[in-house]
Structure 1
């Protein structure tokens, strides 16, 4: 279930698409073409929708934060472009990644171009004090994202890194920006600190639920549903949460099977099949799904004092149950 497929998402998609075009351009140069190719068709638009719905939850309007929300999406997609370069992944959203289609140098430039467009959109208007506060929140989250991406590269092939380490990577790489999107929307709408901080915690917990489900997708959905290569994490020897949960629960024979895969040299399709068998036997898939649901419920609990948060609550359900 796509997180963009909600009543709010349906309403926001044309607004966000038009705003993204306003900041990135219509394709008059190679840079604009590569940026537009990365942005469109849009993905789940989770972060900008969260920003806009968080503003509404505290009495503001979506229009107040539209440019800022589009800026967050530009910054997020820029990170995806660079992430695909790091992972050498040829597929993004069911088609060729930017690097695969345009080349490595061009993809690097497109990621940088999207980042600059995003920053410009963040700072484009509104009460200066609120804009500066919200922008600082997002920039700090992006700093954490970079740290998470680097830590993720450091633990490749390391089955001893442990579940707490990979959870820390998720918090930095995914949860920080989802939390920042929510907090920023509320700040821009003039929310009191207790409310914008509650929305930050909501977004962080939602981001954890979303990312845990993302780690499960290679083992629970087909490539054509996920829109990405199911064997990508295996090919990169990336120890994701389900794999590390399996390591903790596995018997010696299954731990040896996982160790063989993570020494490298096994073709990705065979490696994926072998890992799936271990994840199923150890109950790691079930445990990871339970953890995702737990984070989703913690997110929902943060909405108690926000009467205008119906759409945010629906996004929690989508994140906990997502299949794509």
Structure 2
């Protein structure tokens, strides 16, 4: 299979899904069943698609990168399964989360199983030196993710943490693995060190933009569009970028009410409606969208030295469309 990723990006989805099933199995035992339930129906498959597109951008081959890309998706979904346990999240992608459907013990074990499958897949193909270098990038990203997830538990309910702290969490929890998907795909595709670094920067900035977009959805979209309970972040008292920007821009009364909602036992529906009103009225949502747009522009600028950046540029535009 030569040089570039298929022209139609829709072709990538069945390729990735077939590879995921190859590594997890057909569902003949409980471990396989729970892992498959967590993986399918698949979401945006953003990370494996970015991995393949990054390899293509430097002239790489699909067959050398596909298993690695599927491995990254396994690691991502494993982190989602565990994150839902931490947040006691009953809904994921519009249906019961893995822990809600199968139980916490089963979800924990499935997350571990997905992680192991992911690492095995990443090391399975391609020149050994490239596969090792790319895998090291992903392992380092996962370390950052774990630290960021722990940091997120520390700032729960804390509206004094500031936007910079929320962005620090985003860089570790979301952007690190997206960045590693781009950099790892580039390394496996034969990129120069300069090209791999450019794609790392692209992925980091795009990852920040996507997470801010997700943080905005509870305030700009209906629950059936978000794919999870729109009140989730408020229910878990997570100080996201839009909320913290509203906290900075609001009146003393706004800040007091936000503090009460995040500190006291306010019912979820009321809390969500009040926070949504403040976030929109103070311009917090608008400011967050602009920050995401700025990150997208930085991502696009990072591709200046990449030989074939067109589809990565298009993905950045897609991020802007989703934000607005």
Unpaired stretches in structure 2, ≥5 consecutive residues: 1-5
Q: Give the Cα–Cα distance (whole angstroms) in 1 for the partners of residues 21 and 68 of structure 2.
A: 14
Residue 233 of structure 2 corresponds to which residue in structure 1? 233
Q: Does 1:136 align with 2:123?
A: no
Unpaired stretches in structure 1, ≥5 consecutive residues: 1-5
Q: Give the Cα–Cα distance (whole angstroms) in 1 for the partners of residues 10 and 226 of structure 2.
A: 20
Q: Give the Cα–Cα distance (whole angstroms) in 1 for the partners of residues 107 and 319 of structure 2.
A: 29
CA distances 1:177-216 after superposition (whole Å, capped 9, x unpaired): 1110000001011111000000000000000000000100
How far the C-alpha of 1:96 sits from its partner, in A, is 0.5
How far the C-alpha of 1:126 sits from its partner, in A, is 1.5
Q: Does 1:276 align with 2:276?
A: yes
Q: Give the Cα–Cα distance (whole angstroms) in 2 for the partners of residues 320 and 148 of structure 1.
A: 25
Q: Give the Cα–Cα distance (whole angstroms) in 1 for the partners of residues 180 and 234 of structure 2.
A: 30
How far the C-alpha of 1:256 sits from its partner, in A, is 1.0
Q: Give the Cα–Cα distance (whole angstroms) in 1 for the partners of residues 7 and 142 of structure 2.
A: 29
Q: Does 1:157 align with 2:157?
A: yes
Residue 3 of structure 1 corresponds to which residue in structure 2? none
- When structure 1 is superposed on structure 2, of 302-311 and 240-249 the one drifting more is 302-311
- When structure 1 is superposed on structure 2, of 275-284 and 303-312 the one drifting more is 303-312
How far the C-alpha of 1:303 sits from its partner, in A, is 1.2
Structure 1 runs of 4+ aligned residues shifted over 4 Å read none
Q: Does 1:47 align with 2:55?
A: no
Residue 252 of structure 1 corresponds to which residue in structure 2? 252
Q: Give the Cα–Cα distance (whole angstroms) in 1 for the partners of residues 142 and 322 of structure 2.
A: 25
**Equivalent residues of 1:221, 1:323 under 8 A apart:** no
**Equivalent residues of 2:147, 2:172 under 8 A apart:** yes
Q: Give the Cα–Cα distance (whole angstroms) in 2 for the partners of residues 124 and 62 of structure 1.
A: 14
Q: Give the Cα–Cα distance (whole angstroms) in 2 for the partners of residues 285 and 302 of structure 1.
A: 26
Residue 218 of structure 2 corresponds to which residue in structure 1? 218
Q: Relative contact order (C-alpha < 8 Å, sep 6+): which is higher?
A: 1
**Equivalent residues of 1:8, 1:49 under 8 A apart:** no
Residue 312 of structure 2 corresponds to which residue in structure 1? 312
CA distances 1:145-199 after superposition (whole Å, capped 9, x unpaired): 0011000011001011111100000000011111100000010111110000000
Q: Give the Cα–Cα distance (whole angstroms) in 1 for the partners of residues 125 and 288 of structure 2.
A: 41
Q: Does 1:91 align with 2:91?
A: yes
Q: Does 1:107 align with 2:103?
A: no
Q: Give the Cα–Cα distance (whole angstroms) in 1 for the partners of residues 116 and 12 of structure 2.
A: 23
RMSD of Structure 2 on Structure 1 (CA): 1.3
CA distances 1:21-57 after superposition (whole Å, capped 9, x unpaired): 1100010000100000000010000000000000000
Q: Matched residue of 1:303: which SS?
A: helix
Q: Give the Cα–Cα distance (whole angstroms) in 2 for the partners of residues 40 and 146 of structure 1.
A: 24
How far the C-alpha of 1:7 sits from its partner, in A, is 6.5
Normalised by the length of structure 2, the TM-score is 0.96
Q: Matched residue of 2:153: which SS?
A: helix
Residue 37 of structure 1 corresponds to which residue in structure 2? 37
**Equivalent residues of 2:52, 2:185 under 8 A apart:** yes
CA distances 1:122-141 after superposition (whole Å, capped 9, x unpaired): 11121111111000000000
Residue 76 of structure 1 corresponds to which residue in structure 2? 76
Aligned residues between the structures:
319
How far the C-alpha of 1:323 sits from its partner, in A, is 5.7
How far the C-alpha of 1:320 sits from its partner, in A, is 2.0
- The structure-2 alpha-carbon separation of the partners of 1:38 and 1:7, relative to structure 1 and needing over 3 Å to count, comes to farther
Q: Does 1:14 align with 2:27?
A: no
